[in-house]
Amino acid sequence: MVQNGWPKRGLYSQAFSRKADIASVTVPATPLPVRDRALRALGQLPPFSPILNRLIASLANEDVSFAKIADLIEKDTVLAGNILRLVNSALYGLRGTVNSIRHAVSLLGVNKLRNAALSMSVSRMWNQIKTPPGWSMARFNLHSVGVGILSDLLAQRMDVPYAEGAFAAGLFHDLGLLLVAIGLHEEYQQMARLCAANQKWQIDYEIQVLGMTHAELSADALAAWNLPEAIQVAVRYHGSPELDPSPLESGQIPLSRVLNAADQHVKSMGTCISLFETQNNEYQTSDLLGLGERLPAILSEFDAEFAAIQAYF
């Protein structure tokens, strides 16, 4: 019988009572599966701040008081200052000066405030991580936030189930790639060599090296964080939304499809993860979503919001 990975003391003494036995006993090391090793890298991330814990909890529809979140933001001098600077920027064109987080909530609304606080808190956490050569955390942060902002703007204007999770889905859609970079050093180098040889990234490289896609790994990480299943599913299928099994009513668009469109558009701007992703100048967001005349106004709003928040990364 085994307890905590070791035999009970009596059996242990009996089995290893002779030196000859000790010399003859070998315990082969069984490497953990790639998925398990990658998810272990979640433990290498800096601990969540109190505000980030509350924000993550709010995504799971837990009983979270946004008044308490406002209090926490106000106690985080850097985060509070950045949010107030953002609210008072030309982006919102407000009359007068907003000098309290509670006032900012009333002006931006809960979702906008949460999105801004999430992006700033997560990027600050990720910036503390030691990453391998060739990985740009600045590019990773900008790409993630850009996809989050555009996903949110698109979901607001379309019939998308769980549209309120669009920003978080965009923010975390490439988390799996970060886990590979910090937790699977050998596999990361293999993928880097494959990308360098062909000057582009292909999903086949992930299957070849990892046995899975980074989207699957991202979704598994979000499950470990207890994020809502709708966000997990959108992230899992953001590279192949046609496979998304989410039930839809007539006229609805799955969140994974919105996420895919936002991801492709942000890449087309050149805001991509340099090692793994390449710019797609031929992509048109309307190709997937059929937004027609509504698209220019959405992209204009995105450009303004994305430009305003880049100053904080």
Report the C-alpha gap between 238 and 272 in whole angstroms.
Answer: 15
Close Cβ partners of 22 (under 8 Å, ≥ 6 residues apart):
16
Q: To which H or E segment does residue 2 belong?
A: strand 2-3
- Measure Cα distances from 66 to 23, 55, 70, 208 in Å: 62, 9, 6, 45
Q: Give the architecture-level CATH label for domain 38-310.
A: Orthogonal Bundle (1.10)
Domains of the chain, residue spans: 38-310
Check residue 290 and give its pLDDT: 81
Positive or negative, the Cα torsion across 295, 232, 187, 243? negative
CA 36 to chain centre: 18
pTM, two decimals, is 0.84
Amino acid identity of residue 139, one-letter, is: R
Q: CA 180 → CA 34, 185, 249, 264, 300, distances in Å? A: 9, 7, 36, 21, 34
Give CA–CA dist 35/184, Å, rounded: 10
* Chain segment 129-173, per-residue pLDDT in tens: 988 888 889 899 999 999 999 999 999 999 999 999 999 999 999
Interval 4-37: pLDDT, tens: 333 333 433 443 344 444 344 444 455 678 999 9
